[in-house]
Chains A and B, each alone.
Chain A
Amino acid sequence: MKLLSLQRRMARAVMIPLTNSERMRTVAPDGRSMRAVASQIIKPNDRLTSFERLEIYNRQYWFRVLSGFAEDFPGLRAVLGGRRFDAMAKAYLTDCPSQSFTLRNLGSRLEGWLRKHSGWAGSRQHLAVDMARLEWADIDAFDGKMETPLKPEDLAGANPAKLRLRLQPYVSLLDLRYPVDDLLLEVRKDADNLDVASNAFNERRKTKRVSAVAKLKPSPLYLTVYRLDEDVYFRRLEREEFLILSALQAGKSLNAAIDVGLRKSPLAPEQRAAPVEKWFRTWSALGWFCRLEKNPPN
């Protein structure tokens, strides 16, 4: 058997989901006998059958990817509940196995997958998608690239009609329906306090909090997820802030972005300058803008 063929067979077997009792399936989803698959490629020894030897790798694979995934999405786990989250994680990782050399990227396709598979969250679908987006943005903010921050002198003589400000790659802008930022911080606080409170007590409290958030009427909430001094922060934004920043992120010029942001603003035209100036001052202080490209595209 050629190397590629053997590796395809073994990888396919290793990635088949485990049974509920965390053992290797005897029959693959496509009807193949896993005992036959194992014995075709793997030798038995005096203690283990071919099936049992293959099972060691099958179990190791799932334990590793499931624990990595759960570590990255504790908020989603709280929203779905442990049992449903675990089942969802197996389904997601079966449909979307890792395509990256790093486990960090396991959740990169989760938002899209969750939107297509709404059954996992049921009535909490929007809440679950919001949480998945926030947790993925958190991962991106943690180790995303930081380009040279923009300095005031970089803007000397710039024409606002042509000026295109760029946001740092680690900055994510999220339009959400639920206050998942508060919920995630509470989930993390509970995890940090595990030493001083019983696990069961924490679980009950978490369930109550999630239920309370799920009962809220969905209302627009704008959030940025960013990094400052190597820590990740969530900052809520006004709708106008969100629109301006999103337009800048999409490559619009400064003037055009402000136009987009304020087009439907309830602020009277004469009241707009002060908040816009304040927003830009804050965003600059937080280092969200990168130095301009020397030769920006026309």
Chain B
Amino acid sequence: MPANRFNGHTDFGIGIGLRAPHYHHLLTCKPVVDWFEIISENFMIDGGRPLRILDQILDQYKVVQHGVSMYFGSAEKPNREHLRRLKDLVQRTKTPWLSDHLCWGSVDGRYTHDLLPMPYTFEAARITAQKIREVRDFLEVPVVVENVSSYAEFHVSEMTEWEFLNEVVERADCGVLLDVNNIYVSSQNHSFNPFIYVNSVPAERVAQIHIAGHSKYRKYILDTHDHPVIDPVWKLYARAIERIGHTATLLEWDDSIPSFEEVHGEALKANRFLATASLAAAV
């Protein structure tokens, strides 16, 4: 299952996000890491140090692009300047697949810089899928969409989030970046069983999995990426791996970022589950 057309038929292991506090360590100590995920927008620039560092990382490591502002679910057309810059970066990194979120965040040319939740309607699914196809055709690289954490649900929704995800990826014929932490966060905020979600995802389309930590408040959970992964999320991950098989996995840690060793060590805990999946596949 792991290598499929949505992740460019690759078989990546466990990666972490490439973050500035770790640059020096990575470039001087050159630790062994299966792969890095970069935030595309941090490198969609014309020049300077960020691109020089990226080139040095590309010399030594496998890199996959992850975006935060394509806003597949925004009703407006894709921004041409955004697409042009993204394509330049795709050509630079040779990313085997490219991910962004199943969400919206801009309207009438104004950007919220947030991952706003979709109304789960058939109209939204159609518009979103069309946009995913346009982006994929322009970039000429497999596109996968990630489920987001959400804190609100809309009256107009006509289906569950996982039904909406299925509807979009089938219409767009694209892959899924399954974020099991986001499933957990949303399940707590909206009171659903996260295992139903994981069990409903089209396993054959999953190109990659995200794991992360979050912050619990009195009445809701926020997806803050500033803590280790908690046990209930590992349990969801275990179930996802059981269904999907050995899949490229990435730990997100974006705030209060600890040392490289701590972040990488946390990510490598996924090996416990991946090893079991490999064993099961062998049997």
Contact = CB atoms under 8 A, between A and B. Distances in A.
Interface string A1-44: 11110111011001100000000000000000000000011110
**Which are the 5 A-B pairs with shortest beta-carbon distances?**
A145-B46, A143-B48, A4-B75, A230-B49, A143-B45
A230 B119 contact: no
B262 to A, nearest CB: 21
B219 A48 contact: yes
B46 A143 contact: yes
B154 A99 contact: no
B235 interface: no
Contacts of A56: 151-152, 220, 222
B75 A46 contact: no
B111 interface: yes
B124 interface: yes
Q: Which of A4, A6, A42 has the most CB of B within 10 A?
A: A6
A6 B154 contact: yes
B151 A53 contact: yes
A15 to B, nearest CB: 7
Contacts of A169: 46
Contacts of B230: none
A10 B112 CA distance: 10
Interface string A98-142: 111111100000000000000000000000000000000000001
A92 interface: no
Contacts, number: 129
B74 interface: yes
Contacts of B151: 53, 56-57
Interface in A225-268: 227, 230-231
Contacts of A47: 219-220
Interface of B: 41, 44-52, 69-70, 73-76, 79, 82, 104, 106-114, 116, 119, 121, 123-124, 127, 151-156, 189-191, 219-220, 222
Interface centre among B45, B50, B110, B222 (most CB of A within 10 A): B110
B48 A142 contact: yes
7 contacts: A3-B123, A3-B127, A7-B116, A10-B116, A14-B112, A100-B111, A143-B48
Given A3-B119, A101-B79, A230 B48 contact: yes
A56 to B, nearest CB: 4
Interface residues of A, number: 48
Given A43-B153, A54-B152, A98 B110 contact: yes
B185 to A, nearest CB: 12
B150 to A, nearest CB: 9
A11 B112 contact: yes
Given A45-B191, A230-B48, A230-B52, A61 B112 contact: yes
A65 B79 CA distance: 20
Nearest to A54: B152
A149 interface: no
B114 to A, nearest CB: 6
A11 B107 contact: yes
B46 A7 contact: no
A234 B155 CA distance: 54
Contacts of A146: 46-48
A196 to B, nearest CB: 20
Given A42-B152, A56-B152, A57-B112, 4 more contacts: A41-B155, A101-B106, A102-B41, A170-B47
